[in-house]
Each structure stands twice: as structure tokens, then as C-alpha cells.
Chains A and B, each alone.
Chain A
Amino acid sequence: MTKSYEKPKLMSEDGKRHDGRLPEDLRPIKMEVGILKNASGSALVEYGGTKVIAAVYGPREAQPKHISIPTRAIIRCRYHMAPFSTHERKSPAPSRREIELSKVIREALEPAIISELYPKASIDVFIEVLNADGGTRTAGVTAAALALADAGIPMRDLVAGIAVGKVEGVLVLDLDELEDMYGEADMPIAAMPGKGVITLLQLNGVLTPEEFEEALQLAWKGLKKIYELQKEALKKRYTELSIES
């Protein structure tokens, strides 16, 4: 890919984005559950060019033992980008950014998991970014929630993630890498749509209070769609099998 440091045109005159989407459109989304055999639960999620795998192990005995908590299960989360996931090779060592994202994703999932059921145990979530094209943390949260459900871990609700942002003065949903890089604002949000609870909200850039409100409404629209797709993905394995047999 050729590198240009000039800002590309991100919004066309007819209100379409650089990839032809309308501001409130999502990228094509693909979800698949139960893709890894060794994990208790796993999922693959694609938001356009972004491709993320999540694997869940547990509840299992916490290792090392001293990190366990007597009243609930601990949840550990690792967000990691594969060295081949970006244009230029990314060092496989966890970066400052990945450590932060691991923490915020864990905190986005914790309210959903009924961890009090499994004292002293640990639930380990691994999120591996295979291809990065913007919105990897939100795709990661979506994949992790699916993997947790696939593992059979009781959850109050599924967690879905989506980003909203501002590009050339227009509020847009589900930013890709280009829009994230050259846009004015990027706001990833994760929530439990069934309960209406936001569990992750970050904002990079500037939005006025009015824009923030509007962006939040736009995000809810996207979250609801993703939530439905998640449910569909979880049910798909069973409905497909029933038709077959």
C-alpha cells in the first residue's frame, strides 16, 4: 500500500463515506461461534476488514493460586494484535496500548458475567486481532461475549461493541481505520443492549455535548443490530443442525 500523508477525502458531496456507506451504515458483519476445539468457548467476528478471534477458557482453577478471590471468579483478559495484523509488522510483545485495551475490555465484560457463582476460579479471555482495520476493541468485545456464551458461562446479557465518530463534521457509525486516523473524533462504546447498560465508553477527539448525545443515539442503533446478529450467531449452530437431521 502506498503511504500518503495527505488527508484523503472521506465524505463525498452526496453524503456517502469513502467506502460508499451512509453515515449510519455498519460495515458487513460476520460472526461465527465455536471455531476452536481446545477452548471452552470461541468466536470469530469480522467488522469489514477487521477480523478478531476470541477464546475463553474456564472457569478453571486460578493459576497462580494467590491471585484467586474467595468470593468470586477472577476474569483475566488479554487483547493482542498479531504481528501480521497491521500494514507494518507489529512487535508481538504487549504494547502499552494493548495492556490498556485488555483492561478496558475486561471491565466491559465483568458486569455481564455472574462471577460470584465460581469463587476461587478464573475465567480467561483471549482476544487475538488477525487483521486490523479500525474498531478492533469493539469487535473484540463482541467476539469475547460470544465466546463466553459459547463456553456456557452464565451471563446477565451479551455485550456488544461499536464505534461512533465524527468525520468531516458528520457523525458516522462503525469507523474504519482511515476514518479513525483522519476523522475528528472516535468514540468506541460497548454495552449490554438488553439491559441498556453501557460498560465501555472512550472518546478520542472532540465532540460538543449535543454531538455526544446524537452520537450516543447512533451507537445504540448500531449496538441493537449487532446484538441481534450475536443472538443469531449463537442460535445458528443449532437451527442448522435441526434442519439437516
Chain B
Amino acid sequence: MSEEEVKYKIYVNSRDLVTPGDILAEGNVEALNYPYVIKEGNYVVSTVVGLVDIQNNNKVGVIPLEGFYYPKEGDMVIGIVEEIGVTHWEVNIRAPYKGVLTASDFLGRPFNPAQEDLSKYLNVGDVIIAKIESFDRTRDPLLTVKGKDLGKVTEGTIIEVDPSRVPRIIGKKKSMLNVLTSETGCNVVVAQNGRVLIKCPSEELEAILILAIKKIEREAHTSGLTERIREFILEQKILRGVIKSDKVL
């Protein structure tokens, strides 16, 4: 790299709050996560409300704080069956497009629509955990349930959160998720499309967990959240009489 190529100027700091149209940098800077950051001529511009993310001093991105789910190949999603076709189901995955799950994929064998009725296996309103097998601009996302922990959901509660908060609910190296599961004893599945499936040993714990997840959603942009959530769960446990307070105080 010659000296002229590295000429650039970054106008923002890491974790700065930016809005659409804010100029982040000028010159030879790499834009990290299109479409949240775009190049306009010589400028790098933010397109959403989000926090600045600077890597290696010359790569600029924005982590969106508002948003909706946009399907990506390989994502795990929780979907709700919306329509039954002749050889496939159409599944709501909270995206601009409906997910398509083929009968042969779900049943794991060839399917003859003349002999069988799909509503026997999955009906409208049923919940599935699936993976996005393929998706591009020309076709709707194709789902698959082949794989570990995928398939029809028969028990538990579903919470919907803003999809942009999903990384925070999981946390760095699953730190937040570990706090949630270990402190409450619940089974938590966080899908990329912002649906969270929880299975809890008791109603109180379920209520606490839901409150904790909603708290993460509200305060996703603040730091030191994992510890605050741990304290919050403890407080709620005492408040609801799940554990005795003299143990802690």
C-alpha cells in the first residue's frame, strides 16, 4: 500500500450515537456493514440510528438500534405457520418475505399431495424452529427443519423482541444468555428474527425471565448491562418469594 492510499479521516468515535445522513468518515475508509453504512462519493455515511463501530482504525460500521429482521442464509428463526399450500407451508418469520417450508423437507421423505393432507402435520398457527437454507433477491427464503433442535415446537412461551436487540440478548460469547439460563433455570432459545422461546420450571421464573428480556430490549445500548440483569433477576426472585432474602442481605 502506497502512502497516498491510506489518506482518510474519521469524524466519529466508537460507540457514538448517529442518525441517518451523518457523515462518519472521509477518504479511503472501508464501510463495514452495508446497508447500515454506505459510501457516497468520498464520504462514508450512516443510514440508520445506531452506534458507531470502528475496527482496525480504518473500518467503520454502524450497529443499528432500530430495525426489523432481514433473512440471511444460515440464520435460525422461529416461525408461525400462516398458510398451507399443496406441497409447502408458508411461514411468518417477521421478515418482509414469507418463509417457505416444503413438505418433503419437513417429513424427510417424498410427499404425494394426492394421498396426504399437509394440515395433518402442521396447521395454521403452529410454531416451528427452522433454519434459512437459501435466500436471495429473486426468491422467498427457503426454510429447512433438518438439523439439531429444529422442528415443530410443542411447548413453551414465545416472546417477541426487536430483532436489532438479539445480539445483546445473547451477549459476547453468550455471556448474557448464560446469565439468563443459569439464574432462572429456564431453557432459552433466541432466534435471529427476534422471537425467543422459553421453557421454565415455574410461572414465577417465567415472569422474571420475561421482565429481564424486556429490560435488555429497552436498555440494549447501555454498558454494564449483564451485571445489572443478574442483579435484577435476583431482586425479582426475592420480591416474588422464589428465594428467601436473608440469604443475600
Contact = CB atoms under 8 A, between A and B. Distances in A.
A157 B17 contact: no
Contacts of B19: 149, 158, 230-231, 234-235
A114 B219 contact: no
A155 B20 contact: yes
Interface residues of A, number: 38
Most buried by A among B66, B67, B98: B66
A195 B47 CA distance: 13
B7 interface: no
B35 A114 contact: yes
B142 to A, nearest CB: 15
Nearest to A239: B17
Contacts of B228: 245
Most buried by B among A119, A121, A152: A152
Nearest to B36: A154
Most buried by B among A40, A193, A234: A234
Interface residues on B, range: 20 to 34
A152 B164 contact: yes
Contacts of B98: 61
Given A155-B21, A242-B222, A245-B219, A114 B96 contact: no
A119 B137 contact: yes
B47 A59 contact: no
Given A58-B96, A120-B97, A239-B17, A234 B68 contact: no
A168 interface: no
Contacts of A212: none
Contacts of B164: 152
A156 B38 contact: yes
B21 A194 contact: yes
Given A120-B97, A238-B17, A154 B35 contact: yes
Contacts of B45: 156-157, 194
Contacts of A152: 48-49, 64-68, 164
A112 B20 CA distance: 10
Contacts of B70: 118
B143 to A, nearest CB: 16
Interface string A84-102: 0000000000000000000
A120 B141 CA distance: 13
A157 B46 CA distance: 8
Contacts of A40: 68
A192 interface: yes
B88 interface: no
Interface of A: 40-41, 58-61, 70, 73, 112, 114, 117-121, 149-158, 192-195, 230-231, 234-235, 238-239, 241-242, 245
Interface of B: 17, 19-23, 35-36, 38, 40, 45, 47-49, 64-68, 70, 96-98, 137-138, 164, 218-219, 221-222, 228
Given A151-B66, A194-B45, 18 more contacts: A118-B70, A120-B96, A120-B97, A149-B20, A150-B66, A152-B66, A152-B164, A154-B20, A154-B35, A156-B21, A156-B47, A157-B45, A158-B19, A195-B21, A235-B19, A238-B17, A241-B221, A245-B222
